[in-house]
Amino acid sequence: MLTGPWLIYGANGYTGELVARLAKQRGHRPILAGRSAAEVCSVADALALERRLFSLDDPPRVDEGLAGMHLVLHCAGPFSRTSRPMADACLRTATHYLDITGEVAVFEALAARDAEARERGVMLLPGAGFDVVPSDCLAVHLKRRLPGARRLALAYGGLGRLSRGTATTAIEGLGGGALVRRDGVLTPVPLAWHTRAIDFGEGPRRAITVPLGDVTTAWHSTGIPDVELFFAAPPALRLFARASRALGPILGSETVRRFLTARVRAGAPGPTDEERRKGRAFVWGEVEDETGRRARSRLSTAEGYTFTARAALAIVERVLAGQAPTGFQTPAKAYGPDLVLEIEGTARVDEPSGA
Ligand SMILES: NC(=O)c1ccc[n+]([C@@H]2O[C@H](COP(=O)([O-])OP(=O)(O)OC[C@H]3O[C@@H](n4cnc5c(N)ncnc54)[C@H](OP(=O)(O)O)[C@@H]3O)[C@@H](O)[C@H]2O)c1
């Protein structure tokens, strides 16, 4: 059993608590942390784990909170607000940083600190959850199948019910359009820029262009210059996505965001244990080279939040075992494309290559 001192920040959140529970089951003793004393203590008491209470707006207190820690698994989002102060503290205190973000701006900001992290001997690995472990591993696997690939498309399907934190994070991005990578450069495009039929293994489903973290991570992991992300969306969501092009300024307004966030906060924290047990999630990918040769592969995994807890913990265990390449890392760059196959409940299928 690995016992290095490590900390889960945001341990009272839906996902942070899932990771804490799984970690305890596997014999780990993470320190549970967050800013809300009563909530963090309630989780820590239930799991009989140590706790540390600190908010992220007081840098010396954050440094104190990380004292003696080998790594932090940061589960407090939206990460657009929380990643920077935690990454700053990790770099000051030489603590490895892992998070479960899916936000493009957060991946970009951490990637820009690669040299600083190397200098400090720190690993910065965002996206240790469902977004982006499977898709990043699939991207590198596809590049392995077609080394000359110039174009990469990745798609997410079957995600099921969102947690409050995921929905709140999605609301933050409303009105912002989508992003693709073109010739290695992040390029804004309208939401639902393209629609395509994608077979995740159960027949074709319509999917639309969305902004997801892989526009950064797939580029860093594979060097493929053109990357586009898709999300399988029911007809109403596709219609909403297209309408949002015109409604962008309204959807992005503070009033609308506050209203939607309040609605989300009044709802359930996330999928029930039963929903997570029954749920499945899917990722599909396709690469193409200059001659038109293509390769396609797909993954099916455990439900997204269950997968996130398992994947984040698998990465924590590697870091504790000393496998922590310094600098900005993606899951597949640090641990290879087959990392995903080690996450319980994952299967990968390769379609035959062809034109
Ligand atoms: N990439 C993936 O696959 C994946 C999977 C799951 C979750 N996520 C992301 O992870 C984040 C958390 O999701 P969740 O479902 O666990 O949400 P949640 O249940 O709402 O929990 C959010 C956690 O973040 C903390 N927090 C929020 N803002 C904070 C701030 N400014 N300073 C300190 N702590 C703060 C909250 O603390 P308080 O209780 O004190 O507010 C709570 O502990 C979301 O951004 C979500 O999108 C990503």
Query: Could you tell me the distance, in angstroms and rounded to a whole number, from the CA of residue 168 to the centre of ligand 1?
Result: 9
pLDDT at 2: 42
Query: Among 283, 20, 299, 304, which Cα is nearest to 161's?
Result: 304
The DSSP code for 180 is: E
Q: Rg of the chain's alpha carbons, rounded to an integer?
A: 20
Q: What is the pLDDT of residue 247?
A: 63
Considering only CA atoms, which residue is closest to atom 24 of ligand 1? 76
Residue closest by Cα to atom 37 of ligand 1: 10
Instruction: Supply angle C-alpha 353, 339, 293, rounded to 5.
Output: 15
Rounded alpha-carbon distances, angstroms, from residue 122 to 19, 85, 100, 230: 22, 15, 17, 32
**Which residue's C-alpha comes closest to atom 34 of ligand 1?**
76
pLDDT for position 259: 66
Taking CA atoms, 262 is separated from 34, 88, 139, 164, 167, in Å, by 22, 30, 36, 10, 11
Q: Which residues lie below 8 Å from residue 274, measured CB to CB, with a gap of 6+?
A: none
Measure the CA–CA gap between 256 and 219, rounded to whole angstroms: 33
C-alpha dihedral over 300, 302, 307, 310, to 10 degrees?
Answer: -110
Cα distances from 116 to residues 79, 124, 321, in angstroms, run: 20, 10, 23
**pLDDT in tens for each of the 355 residues of the chain?**
344 799 999 999 999 999 999 999 999 999 999 999 999 999 999 999 999 999 999 999 999 999 999 999 999 999 999 999 999 999 999 999 999 999 999 999 999 999 999 999 999 999 999 999 999 999 999 999 999 999 999 999 976 778 787 777 776 666 678 999 999 999 999 988 999 999 999 899 999 999 999 999 999 999 999 999 999 987 777 776 676 766 666 566 676 667 666 665 777 788 999 999 999 999 999 999 999 999 999 999 999 999 999 999 999 999 999 999 999 999 999 999 999 999 999 999 999 877 6
Q: Looking at the DSSP assignment, which residues form a beta bridge with residue 182?
A: 185
281 C-alpha to ligand 1 centroid (Å): 21
**pLDDT for residue 177:** 87
For ligand 1, residues with CB inside 6 Å are 10, 12-16, 34-36, 39, 55-56, 75-79, 81-82, 100-102, 129-131, 163-166, 169, 269-270, 305, 308
Best substitution site from 52, 74, 75, 265 to test ligand 1's pocket, by max atoms within 8 Å of Cβ? 75
The pLDDT value recorded for residue 73 is: 98
**What pLDDT does residue 86 have?**
98
